Copies of this chain bind each other. A is one copy, B any other.
Amino acid sequence: MSNTPLPLFAGLSAFPLTPADEDGRVETDALQALVARIVDGKATSIGLLGSTGAYAYLSREERRRAVDAAIEAAAGRIPVIAGIGAIRTDQVQALARDAAAAGADGLLLAPVSYTPLTEEEVFQHYATVAATTDLPLCVYNNPSTTHFTFSESLIARLSAIETIRAVKMPPPKDLDFSGEMARLRNNAAADFAICYSGDWHGAEALLAGADAWYSVVGGLFPHAAAALTKSAREKDAGETARIDTMFEPLWSLFKAHGSLRVIYAAANLLGLTKAAPPRPILPLPEMLLPEIEKAIAALPER
């Protein structure tokens, strides 16, 4: 076993939205254009069908279509990590097999729940899914959507499963990234990657030594997000802060309206897709569009 995390789980993982019509049918052309943009922007990986990719709202068939389309567009130039979360364990197993058959490079799994789950249930869920394919798997720790909070001991326990090779963490409440990573790394295998989501804390996480940034803006503005990732991983705090400041108007919008709604509006404004978020989620009201337009204009890439 190597002592360093998989390259798959390092750097900038760009999370595109999944353009789909109002019946939940994926618009593969628009998705492939987003993938090409991410390839062009030199992200490290594509985080397909993450929360930003609205995976929870898409059928198994449409998720398979999305994975096929993204892998075709990526054409081996960038690895594709596919989200496979679902409410039933057998559904997740089917999605894992679908992703593997389509040629995905890795899997991302959140403990989607309705009835609140126990630690043991989540552990058995991951163990069962991990046994389904050989693909490396990232634990998707996203309490704001799943409402399950991973204890550090559960993450350590999961990291002992051979194919579970990474965790995607939300920002720690006290924002002590270094302290949290030290504790997590102390209890996990040396090659277990500690990655962070939470766009407006990405710079902090990377400067503190996170293996990867799982980023919403990376899915739409990969050049700038990749530049931020590079400078932060090189510990260039000044350059990192400079780029982060350019994203600041977008962070404010994310905090106020949720990153998903804002990124749909931004993608619409950029002419990349006309897709709206899946109902019941509503598009942002038109009166907010000038502010989003302005936030986008602050970025070097459009």
Q: Which residues of A does B touch, CB under 8 Å? A: 22-24, 51, 54, 56-57, 87-90, 111-118, 120-122, 124-125, 128, 144-145, 147, 258, 260, 277-282
Contact = CB atoms under 8 A, between A and B. Distances in A.
Contacts of A22: 90
A278 B118 CA distance: 14
Nearest to A128: B279
What is the total number of copies of this protein in its complex?
2
The dominant DSSP class at the A interface is: loop
Nearest to A89: B279
Given A121-B280, A279-B90, A280-B122, A114 B115 contact: no
Task: In the A-B complex, list the 9 residue pairs whose CB atoms are closest, starting with the nearest.
Answer: A56-B114, A125-B280, A89-B279, A121-B280, A89-B280, A147-B147, A121-B282, A114-B145, A115-B260
B114 A112 contact: yes
A118 B23 CA distance: 21
B116 A145 contact: yes
Contacts of A114: 51, 56-57, 112, 145
Contacts of A120: 282
Q: Could you say which of A118, A128, A279, A280 has the most chain B C-beta atoms within 10 Å of its C-beta?
A: A280
Given A22-B90, A258-B116, A125 B56 contact: no
B145 A88 contact: no
Contact of A57 (B24, B88, B116, B278): B88
A127 B4 CA distance: 53
A115 B279 contact: no
Nearest to A93: B279
Contacts of A281: 115, 117, 121
8 contacts: A23-B90, A54-B115, A57-B114, A89-B279, A114-B145, A115-B145, A125-B279, A128-B279
A56 B91 CA distance: 13
A201 to B, nearest CB: 18
Q: Could you say which of A23, A24, A118, A120 has the most chain B C-beta atoms within 10 Å of its C-beta?
A: A118
Q: Could you say which of A111, A258, A278 has the most chain B C-beta atoms within 10 Å of its C-beta?
A: A278
B282 A124 contact: yes
